[in-house]
Amino acid sequence: MSKERIDQSRLPKHIAIIMDGNGRWAKEKGKFRIFGHENGVKAVREVSEGCAELGIECLTLYAFSTENWNRPKIEVNALMTLLVKTIKSETKTLMKNGIKLDAIGVRSNLPKDCRRELEEAIDATKNNTGMTLILALSYSAKWDIVNATKTIAQKALNGEITLEDVDEELIDKTLTTHKYPHPELMIRTSGELRISNFLLWEIAYSELYFTTVLWPDYRKEHLYEAILDFQGRERRFGKTSEQLSS
């Protein structure tokens, strides 16, 4: 699948990816799960570079969910160590590609060194003007919605807003994803057909794309395939096909 078949004038502004299947990839090879996570880094690099080259504005990668804290301690620790190492080593690739880094999720739950590396990389890339790469770390959509609800309720209690002020726009701008457009395309690898508490509000009208490719095997061609599939869809937003063509 070549990049040339993609219509540059109809690119999604924002792509979100549930990077799944690292454990199964490792298991297939008779290795420990962490071997799969380590090999997922190459796919992160490929996809970030691929999106940046195409001119995608935002890419959100689901790297660690709130629920992932419930995995065995040894895997959680290994993932956090890998994260620190990767953020450190990939900052130069981000700079080379003009990519700005951001993160969503409960940062205070991350180990100190992990948080420090993350914040340093966010700071180092803050003046880059290319794509924004958003890492969802210790993130869950329900957490974000609960948080936003509390913020809004507090404003109402303080008398800063009335009930009439609570609308979609207010919720949108209270979520931690408020700086970015909603993803038009969401991809999940590994063959699982679920959302696993990722961007629930923001994907209300996203096109969903599922592939059986395991994350460590994911390459630019797979990304191009997903975008091409997206471009072949009719996004009706509740209207009829005839309305769209007239």
Q: Which does 183 bind (CB under 5 to 8 A by kind): ligand IPE, Mg ion, none?
A: none
Q: Which of 88, 194, 233, 235 binds ligand IPE (CB under 6 A)?
A: 194
Stretch near ligand IPE under the rule CB under 6 A, chosen from 18-26, 80-88, 100-108, 171-179 = 18-26
Decide whether 6 or 83 has the Cβ nearer to ligand IPE: 83
| 218 sits near Mg ion (criterion: CB under 5 A) | no
Task: Give yes or no: 127 in active site.
Answer: no
Task: Give yes or no: 123 in active site.
Answer: no
Query: Which residues ranging from 84 to 123 are in contact with ligand IPE (CB under 6 A)?
Result: none
- Using the Cα atoms of residue 145, residue 125, residue 69 and residue 26 in order, give the sign of their dihedral: positive
* Among candidate residues 104, 123, 80, the one with its CA nearest the CA of residue 14: 104
Q: Which of 11, 12, 64, 90 binds ligand IPE (CB under 6 A)?
A: 64
| Residue of 39, 68, 102, 217 with catalytic role | 68
* Among candidate residues 226, 186, 232, the one with its CA nearest the CA of residue 3: 226
- The span from the CA of 15 to the CA of 18, in Å, is 10
- The span from the CA of 107 to the CA of 137, in Å, is 7
Stretch near Mg ion under the rule CB under 5 A, chosen from 19-27, 29-37, 133-141, 180-188 = 19-27
Q: Residue with the closest Cβ to Mg ion? A: 20
- The span from the CA of 159 to the CA of 144, in Å, is 23
What token pair was written down for 56? 């995608």
Question: Residue 94: phi, psi to the nearest 5?
Answer: -60, -45
| 39 sits near ligand IPE (criterion: CB under 6 A) | no
* Among candidate residues 134, 136, 140, 138, the one with its CA nearest the CA of residue 58: 134
| 64 sits near Mg ion (criterion: CB under 5 A) | no
Q: Residue with the closest Cβ to ligand IPE? A: 23
In whole angstroms, the minimum distance from the beta carbon of 189 to ligand IPE comes to 8
Q: Which does 196 bind (CB under 5 to 8 A by kind): Mg ion, ligand IPE, none?
A: ligand IPE
With residue 227 as reference, give the H or E element that holds it. Answer: helix 220-231
Residue 133's SS3 state is: strand
Q: Which residues are catalytic?
A: 20, 68
